[in-house]
Structure 1
Amino acid sequence: MNLPDQAQQALEAFTAAGSWEQRARLLMLWGEKLEPLAECERNDLNRVHGCESQVWLVGTLSNGQWHFRATSDARLIRGLLAVLLARVNGLPIGELAALDLADWFNQLGLARQLSPSRSNGLNAVLMKMRELAL
């Protein structure tokens, strides 16, 4: 399966990072590059429930491909959202439905650092993406 360009960049960057500290710094940097959400988009309708931190997700469909934007009140979560968005943006609906989130974070070398609550939260984000896409 071909990775979107951004996902390929994420994979190369995180694979090159030798330690968890380097990956954590990378996550913070990726989180700062998220497309911002307008204040009016940070509403209850766009809020992802099931996350300990506050997370908002907005999706738009263009030419049969979904483009998502998301943000969180937590820095580390913003970084995790950024690498998730890198993986899913531009995917056809079928690939979005089949995406293995655990495998993606494993490839990035981030799986061991995902606490159960963070993992559940990211799964909630992915489920909301799939709901929007249907």
Structure 2
Amino acid sequence: MASAAFEDIAETFDFLDDWEDRYRHVIELGKAMAAMEPALQVPATKVDGCASQVWIMPRIEAGRFDFQGDSDAMIVRGLIAILHALYSGLTLQEVLEVDAPAEMARLGLDEHLSAQRSNGLRAMVQRIRLLASDAV
């Protein structure tokens, strides 16, 4: 159950053969993402378990999940952009049903991220699931 935006990213990753090209694409996704207001980068929105500074601020309107996110690391900003594509616009229940590890594995990220980045990605997914669960 992936959104059209995530499917577009998956198709692009299928087209890019080299991990270096995929890595650059993740960074470009992060650069294209709107910056989070510094006023929202507070302890309450900070994601624990990430080596980099990461903030996620949910926006839930009419039962649909969305969020703003940011990081001080470009590759992590790209991972946030991918998670945004995966979750944005889903109902709260759909957010809880997404198999994020399987969807991210489709991009080959599980094979190429460092252990620290993988742990941070898991922490971001857990935070998103917690935010959706709390809002149900």
- Shifted more, 38-47 versus 94-103: the winner is 94-103
- Once the two structures are TM-superposed, the CA of residue 71 in structure 1 deviates from its matched residue by 0.8
Residue of structure 2 equivalent to 1:105: 104
- Once the two structures are TM-superposed, the CA of residue 99 in structure 1 deviates from its matched residue by 2.0
In 2, the alpha carbon distance for the partners of 1:49 and 1:33 equals 24
> 1:12-91 alignment to 2 at 5 Å?
12-91=11-90
- Once the two structures are TM-superposed, the CA of residue 48 in structure 1 deviates from its matched residue by 0.4
Residue of structure 2 equivalent to 1:5: 4
Runs (5+) with no aligned partner, structure 1:
none
In 2, the alpha carbon distance for the partners of 1:98 and 1:4 equals 13
Letter of the 2:74 counterpart: R
Residue of structure 2 equivalent to 1:129: 128
Runs of 4+ in structure 1 off by over 6 angstroms are none
Q: Does the residue aligned with 1:132 lie in a helix, a strand or coil? A: helix
Q: 1:34, 1:69 within 8 Å by CA — same for their partners in 2?
A: no
Q: Does the residue aligned with 1:77 lie in a helix, a strand or coil? A: helix
- Once the two structures are TM-superposed, the CA of residue 93 in structure 1 deviates from its matched residue by 1.6
In 1, the alpha carbon distance for the partners of 2:8 and 2:130 equals 27
1:95 aligns with 2:66: no
Give the TM-score normalised by structure 2. Answer: 0.91
Give the alignment's Cα RMSD to 1 decimal. 1.2
Q: 1:28, 1:79 within 8 Å by CA — same for their partners in 2?
A: yes
Q: What is the aligned residue count? A: 133
Q: 1:29, 1:79 within 8 Å by CA — same for their partners in 2?
A: yes
- Once the two structures are TM-superposed, the CA of residue 116 in structure 1 deviates from its matched residue by 2.2
Give the TM-score normalised by structure 1. Answer: 0.92
In 2, the alpha carbon distance for the partners of 1:110 and 1:126 equals 14
Q: Deviations over 1:97-125 (max 9, x none)?
A: 12222211211122201222212211111
Q: Deviations over 1:41-74 (max 9, x none)?
A: 1111110011110000011111211111111101
